[in-house]
Structure 1
Amino acid sequence: MIENPANYYTGLDVADRIISRNVLLFERRTRGALQQKIKGALQRKNLAGRMHHRYVLIRSLQTAGVISVDGKALHLKEGAALLMTPYQFHHYIDLAADELHWLFITFELEKGETQLGKLSHQVINPDTKTDLMWSEIANLWVDEHLDNRVELLPILDRLLTRIHSSSKFEPPLTEESLSTKSEWIVRIESLIFQSVREHWSLEEVARRAGLSERHLRNRFEAQMGISLRDHRSNYQLHLAISLMRNQEFSISDIAELSGFNSQSVFTHFIRRMSGQTPRELRARILSGEST
């Protein structure tokens, strides 16, 4: 029995309720498909292909994997999910097999940024109710009646709200729990991040790793499929764009925090990576345009 309200003008409301928009779904079925998009984008001035400027909800339906997000190693078990917020630096450290089935839901937010920001760097273990919502969203996306797709928008909002309020999370992996291969990558990546903060050369990174620079470069590229220099540049670009979203930082502040000794070198770097000046790129980011 539903009782009469004490006040007919004050009811349930959430000021920053999660409201999604511009939703896309796609799948990745192989290790190569996961990695190829980023590799191809690195060869072009294509920021949208190199990084996620949207929210990305990933679920592993088949094949577990270890993903590094902002330098934190997250184990995505079969059935588990992970939310990445815009411009988070991420890559795939290790996959249990070459064949996989990962579902990606990418979207923008109209409201709810504060709530979803709290889900960073945590693996989500869906419950029975969220399982049903995942299935509804996927089924509506492939429905032959395309007009029915619009129904998935409120379901995605419900899914994200339930994840935020009711899900069980797992923290990042510790180095002790990683495989030898993954542990080595995480350790080297930690040194790369520190090299940006401390303005170290790659030679210094290699010295601290106890290797020659040539050995480090060769081993890193063999395991990651990308050169050490490109990996660091990609991280610096993500970091710079993340800082550009904060209007309290000047361009010179961003250059310094992104590991550059001079603003002119930073400007050349941003031009090379994006085809735009730092001010042009920042203006596009702050206006909400796709980079």
Structure 2
Amino acid sequence: MSTARFEVISSKSDTFEPELRYITHSRYDNEWLSAVHSHSVAEMLYILEGEGEIVVAGKHREISPGDFIIIPPHLMHTEVSSIAKPLEYYCLGISDISIKYEKDDFDPVIALGNSSQNILDLIRSIYREMQKKQKAYELMAKSYFYNLFSILIRRHVIDIKMDEEKVIRSNIADVKSYIDEHYAESFSLNSLADIAALSKFHLIRQFKNALGVSPMDYIQTKRVNEAKKLLSGTELSISDIAEAVGFSSGSYFTQRFRLVTGMTPMGFRSRYAAEDEHGLL
């Protein structure tokens, strides 16, 4: 018997895990609003029918059936359709990737060559799975999606040889800065993931790798630290301080405060006042 064995070697530092966040099928009609906008994720468009323009970072590019378009995250853009030949296209929103953008020579329209039909078939398969939602549809959609990405990479349509670790670190820093500035507001993992252009799973993992705690634990600790300043520097009531730093109730504030500091807010205030009185601070 002859056996050929191939091992898959995985390295966390080299992990490339793009994630499909959404797929849409759009067709021009009278309610079409060509407003300039941006997304926290990259977008890929496949033009099915019609004619028009894609406007990316103020640059206009004519588009027609068969064109494949890549738009980097956070880049202002819009689609403008011909009225006589309305645009129709698929759009995929993809997180956990970065697209190299050179302002002077960036062209969002990518030549697919003889891969065009294969790419379209895969996009249609993804859309069909997401639309019908049959058993294991998410797994099937993901398999088609990874197949599509593999073709794009092998055909050199996209280049993943970029400093993705640097991009992720920068995005995590953006999330931390946002929390530090808006700690008293309501948060969701979805909103923080949008800021980082990552999935919720990858946000939690990368945030913990960078700071040693999850995003939600960081938020709670930040709120407790801000509360300590108010407890020691003001005469605000416990409930007022809880509200000021973003806790939903005084009891939950007390619970989190004790978890972080080992004492209640009132106990902390009393201890601070006693140490201040005796000149220990």
- TM class by shorter-chain length? 0.3 to 0.5
What TM-score do the two structures reach when normalised by structure 2? 0.47
Which protein has greater RCO, CA pairs closer than 8 Å, 6+ apart? Answer: 1
What TM-score do the two structures reach when normalised by structure 1? 0.45
User: Which is higher, the Rg of structure 1 or of structure 2?
Assistant: 2
